[in-house]
């Protein structure tokens, strides 16, 4: 069984009655990458987590950390990083022109 198969099986869950119930309770627990001794190339080839931010964070060697860098790392970790396009930023900035009553 590959890492990808183990991970996908352990993520199977459905929301029922306001609580999360696992549909795969008989599945093995997920393992850490350091505990996996198989060929991880199949898993890594399919891994595309935050495709714009991950390479930027991977290339921080020798860089000074700033508040922005720390924020990016935290948002990457919790998968909440957004990178709006220029049109969305323009529209958000246009909201400043709204007058309050």
Q: Could you tell me the pTM of the whole model?
A: 0.49
pLDDT of residue 44: 73
Q: Tell me which H or E stretch contains 22.
A: strand 19-22
Q: For the segment 59-84, what is each residue's pLDDT rounded down to a tens digit?
A: 998 899 999 999 999 999 998 999 99
Per the model's pLDDT, the better-predicted residue between 89 and 33 turns out to be 89
Q: Which of 15-19, 31-35, 68-72 has the lowest mean pLDDT?
A: 15-19
> Nearest Cα to 10, choosing from 98, 19, 26?
26
């Amino acid at each position: 069984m590959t890492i990808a198969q183990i991970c996908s099986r352990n993520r199977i869950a459905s929301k029922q009655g306001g609580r999360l119930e696992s549909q795969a309770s008989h599945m093995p627990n997920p393992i850490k990458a350091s505990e996996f001794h198989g060929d991880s190339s199949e898993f890594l080839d399919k891994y595309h987590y935050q495709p714009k931010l991950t390479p930027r964070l991977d290339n921080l060697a020798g860089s000074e950390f700033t508040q922005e860098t720390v924020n990016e790392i935290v948002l990457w970790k919790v998968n909440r990083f957004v990178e709006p396009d220029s049109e969305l930023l323009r529209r958000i900035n246009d909201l400043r022109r709204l007058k309050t009553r």
